[in-house]
């Protein structure tokens, strides 16, 4: 394994890293914003939207992301109407197709994660909000969503990592993401390990960072769920150390 | 749609390859998962550390990257080893073996957590009661541990299986002629890629729906005797 080769081609890997991080971060951000209303429609059994959203999440959670991306990138060109529409500028581009596929995919998963968390809201909290005279919308905004987002945090952390893992399929449609950069380096110098191993290391570093971030977020926002340590001052404003795992 | 119908035997061949890969790799992953869970629970230092490294690496590296490393890199290592030791000549890893090994290896890590979680859900007292009754280790495993291990592991196993089934689509990237590969070829030949990929998505939905139904039945069987609210 020739490490010098990897450092000589650092610009490829930087491009790859930027593309991967951008694709995943933008997809997660859009997906999160979209999934809040969709999950409310599911949890509150909206007569029209609940079945529609159910069908949507069932379809995108039950099929491989790779094929969803192929359907968008290779498939849409089958229709002349698409090729002649104004959207073709976006849809013929692999990067945008990957982004659209990732958004559709992560929205489906996040919607179901949030739905589960909404449905797990302790009924007492809702009753208390009603007793305090909150309107249904205020209840959702002030009581249900804050506790839902906390409860969804661990599952959402997993979804972020799975989205990062899933994003490698972008390299199969010519996007230069981290794996794509590895493939280019391999092809350019006719080597096998250098590109793939460097890609693996970069992904592992990202996953490690995400895991640390969510550990921190959980410690901060789920502090009230941690077992109280004996001898710790109750109600003190100093943060308690993390519970032993 | 007629073009898909024309290629039906081709696609069906692909479906069989997909199912074969999924079943072969789930068997490997269950074996590795049981081993890994044993490593983590045994309290022994070396197996515990190996299992820990194993699950951490798998969580850190995406499946396709691992598959490419094993498919291309594994071949090089094997041939280098053959040259050095003189035991074998040039061998080519076939994509089926590489795909099954990789997917089995990846999901072995997830199965490790499945089985570890299931095992610690079995009340200790029941195992102690078995010892007190004079049961042998094997008998305790067969009568007390295994039925409950299956019961507690099934929901998570179902989840892993559904993800695994979808992951098999990646083997088309290393040239294995599974459902996705054949559909891609058909779509190119007929210039109707959308129709073909849509058919593939529907077939995957059907496969996941069938396995979900079957595993739910199994879950009910192994949960006989559990009182539900």
Share of chain B above pLDDT 70, in %: 99
Q: Look at residue A242 and tell me whether its pLDDT is greater than 90.
A: no
ipTM over 0.90: no
- The domain segmentation of chain A, as residue ranges, is 3-223
Residue B191 parent element (H or E): none
Token readout for B169 is: 């689509």
DSSP class of residue B73 equals I
140-199 in chain A: CB under 8 A from chain B = 161, 164-169, 171-172, 179, 182, 192-193, 196-197, 199
| Res B84: pLDDT | 83
Of A188 and A33, which is predicted with more confidence? A33
A74 vs A226, which has greater pLDDT? A74
Instruction: Give the residue-averaged pLDDT of B12-36.
Output: 94
What pLDDT does A61 receive? Answer: 93
The answer to whether the Cβ–Cβ distance between A67 and B204 falls below 8 Å is yes
Rounded CA-CA distance B170/B165 in Å is 10
B223–chain A nearest CA distance, Å? 23
Write down the mean pLDDT value for chain A. Answer: 89
**What does the alpha-carbon distance between residue B120 and residue A49 come to, in Å, rounded to a whole number?**
41
CB B45 within 8 A of CB B127: no
Nearest-CA distance A23 → chain B (Å): 15
Of B68, B204, B205, the CB nearest to A196: B68
Q: Which CATH topology does A3-223 take?
A: MetI-like fold (1.10.3720)
Q: Report the C-alpha gap between A137 and B209 in whole angstroms.
A: 36
Q: What is the pLDDT of residue A235?
A: 47
**CA dihedral defined by B5, B198, A165, B54, rounded to 10 degrees?**
-30
pTM (two decimals): 0.88
Residue A238: its pLDDT value, please? Answer: 46
% pLDDT > 90, chain B = 54
Domain range summary for chain B, segments of one domain joined by +: 2-222
Q: How far apart are CA A212 and CA A208, in angstroms?
A: 6
Which residues in chain B touch residue A77, judged by CB atoms under 8 angstroms apart? Answer: 193
Beta-carbon neighbour count of residue B178 at 10 Å?
27
Judged on CB neighbours under 10 Å (0-12, 13-18, 19+), A2 is exposed
The least confident of A118-132, A218-232, B41-55 is A218-232
| Helix, strand, coil percentages, rounded to 5, for chain B | 85, 0, 15
CB proximity A208 to B under 8 Å = yes
More confident site: A238 or A83: A83
Contact B197 A75 (CB under 8 A): yes
- Per-chain mean pLDDT for chain B: 89
- Whether chain B has a CB inside 8 Å of the CB on A216: the answer is no
Q: Which is nearest to A179 in space by CA: A65, A20, A27?
A: A20
The separation between CA B118 and the C-alpha centre of its own chain, rounded to angstroms, equals 18
- At residue B26, the pLDDT reads 96
Instruction: Note the pLDDT of residue B73.
Output: 81
Q: A55 CB near a chain B CB, below 8 Å?
A: no
| Per-residue pLDDT band at B76 (split at 50, 70, 90) | confident
Check residue A146 and give its pLDDT: 92
Question: Contact, B95 vs B174, CB < 8 A?
Answer: yes
The string of DSSP letters for chain A reads --HHHHHHTHHHHHHHHHHHHHHHHHHHHHHHHHHHHHHHHHHTT-TTHHHHHHHHHHHHHSS-HHHHHHIIIIIGGG-HHHHHSTTHHHHT-HHHHHHHHHHHHHHHHHHHHHHHHHHTS-HHHHHHHHHTT--HHHIIIIIIHHHHHHHHHHHHHHHHHHHHHHGGGGGGGT---HHHHHHHHHHHHT-SHHHHHHHHHHHHHHHHHHHHHHHHHHHHHTGGGSPPPTTPPTT-SSPPPPPP-
User: Which residues, 6 or more positions from A199, have their beta carbon under 8 angstroms from its beta carbon?
Assistant: A13, A16, A178, A179, A181, A182, B65
Q: How confident is the model over B143-168, as a mean pLDDT?
A: 91
Q: What is residue A205's predicted lDDT score, i.e. its pLDDT?
A: 95
Find out whether B163 and B151 touch, Cβ atoms under 8 Å. Answer: no
CA distance B184 to B180: 6
Residue of B nearest to A1 (CA): B73
Would you tell me which CATH number, out of the four given (3.40.50.12500, 3.30.1330.60, 1.10.645.10, 1.10.3720.10), belongs to the domain B2-222? 1.10.3720.10
pLDDT of residue A89: 82
**pLDDT confidence bin for B228, thresholds 50/70/90:** low
The percentage of chain A sitting over the pLDDT mark of 90, rounded to a whole number, equals: 69
Residue B90 pLDDT > 80, yes or no?
A: no
How large is the average pLDDT for residues B49-56? Answer: 91
Pick the more confident residue, B69 or A102.
Answer: A102
pLDDT-derived band of residue B17, with 50, 70 and 90 as boundaries? very high
Is pLDDT at A236 greater than 60 in this prediction?
Answer: no
Above 50 in pLDDT, residue A227? yes
Q: B28: which residues sit within 8 A by CB, 6+ positions away?
A: B100, B101, B103, B104, B105, B108
For chains A and B, what is the number of CB pairs under 8 angstroms? Answer: 113
For residue B90 the two structure tokens come to 């040039």
pLDDT number for residue B79: 82
d(CA A95, CA A101): 10
Contact indicator for B201, A59 with CB cutoff of 8 Å:
yes
Contacts of B210 in chain A (CB under 8 A): none
Query: Closest-CA residue in chain B for A164?
Result: B62
Check pLDDT > 80 for residue A229.
no
pLDDT of residue A245: 40
- Cβ <8 Å between B60 and A207: yes
Query: Has residue A31 got a pLDDT over 70?
Result: yes
Three-state SS at B90? coil
Confidence (pLDDT) at A164? 96
Q: Is the pLDDT of residue A118 over 90?
A: yes
Task: Read off the pLDDT of residues A145-183 as tens digits, 9 standing for 90 and up.
Answer: 999 999 999 999 999 999 999 999 999 998 999 999 999
Q: Find chain B residues with C-beta within 8 A of A23's C-beta.
A: none
Report residue A241's pLDDT band, with 50, 70 and 90 as the boundaries.
very low
CA atoms within 13 A on the CB side of A95: 12
CB contact under 8 Å between A169 and B64, yes or no, is yes
């Amino acid at each position: 394994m020739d490490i010098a080769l990897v450092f000589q081609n650092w610009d490829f890997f930087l491009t790859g890293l930027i593309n991967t991080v951008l694709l995943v971060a933008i997809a997660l951000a859009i997906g999160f914003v979209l999934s809040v209303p969709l999950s409310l429609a599911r949890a509150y059994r909206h007569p029209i939207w609940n079945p529609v959203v159910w069908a949507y999440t069932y379809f995108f959670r039950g099929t491989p992301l790779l094929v969803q991306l192929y359907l968008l990138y290779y498939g849409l060109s089958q229709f002349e109407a698409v090729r002649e529409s104004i959207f073709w500028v976006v849809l013929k581009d692999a990067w945008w197709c990957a982004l659209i596929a990732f958004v559709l995919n992560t929205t489906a998963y996040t919607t179901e994660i949030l739905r589960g968390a909404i449905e797990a809201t302790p009924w007492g909290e809702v009753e208390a909000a009603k007793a305090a005279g909150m309107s249904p919308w205020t209840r959702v905004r002030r009581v249900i969503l804050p506790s839902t987002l906390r409860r969804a945090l661990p599952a959402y952390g997993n979804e972020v990592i799975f989205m990062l893992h899933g994003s490698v399929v972008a390299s199969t449609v010519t996007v230069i993401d981290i794996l794509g950069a590895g493939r280019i380096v391999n092809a350019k110098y006719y080597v096998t390990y250098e590109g793939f191993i460097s890609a693996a290391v970069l992904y592992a570093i990202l996953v490690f960072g995400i895991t640390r971030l969510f550990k921190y977020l959980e410690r901060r926002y789920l502090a009230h769920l941690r077992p109280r340590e004996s001898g710790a001052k109750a109600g003190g404003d100093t943060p308690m150390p993390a519970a032993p795992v | 749609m007629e073009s898909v119908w024309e290629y039906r035997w081709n696609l069906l061949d692909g479906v069989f390859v997909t199912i074969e890969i999924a079943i072969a790799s789930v068997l490997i992953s269950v074996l590795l998962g049981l081993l890994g869970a044993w490593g983590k629970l045994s309290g022994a230092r070396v197996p515990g550390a190996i299992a820990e490294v194993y699950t951490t690496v798998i969580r850190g590296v995406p499946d396709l990257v691992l598959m490419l490393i094993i498919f291309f890199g594994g071949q090089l290592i094997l041939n280098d080893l053959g040259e050095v030791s003189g035991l074998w000549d040039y061998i080519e890893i076939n994509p089926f073996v590489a795909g099954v090994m990789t997917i089995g290896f990846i999901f072995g890590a997830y199965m490790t957590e499945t089985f570890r979680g299931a095992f610690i859900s079995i009340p200790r007292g029941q195992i102690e009661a078995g010892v007190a009754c004079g049961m042998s280790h094997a008998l305790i495993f067969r009568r007390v541990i295994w039925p409950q291990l299956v019961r507690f592991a099934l929901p998570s196993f179902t989840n892993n299986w559904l993800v695994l089934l979808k992951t098999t689509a990646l083997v088309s990237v290393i040239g294995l002629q599974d459902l996705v590969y054949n559909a891609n070829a058909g779509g190119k030949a007929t210039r109707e890629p959308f129709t073909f990929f849509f058919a593939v998505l529907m077939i995957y939905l059907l496969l996941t729906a069938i396995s979900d139904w079957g595993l739910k039945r199994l879950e009910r069987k192994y949960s006989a005797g559990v009182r539900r609210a």
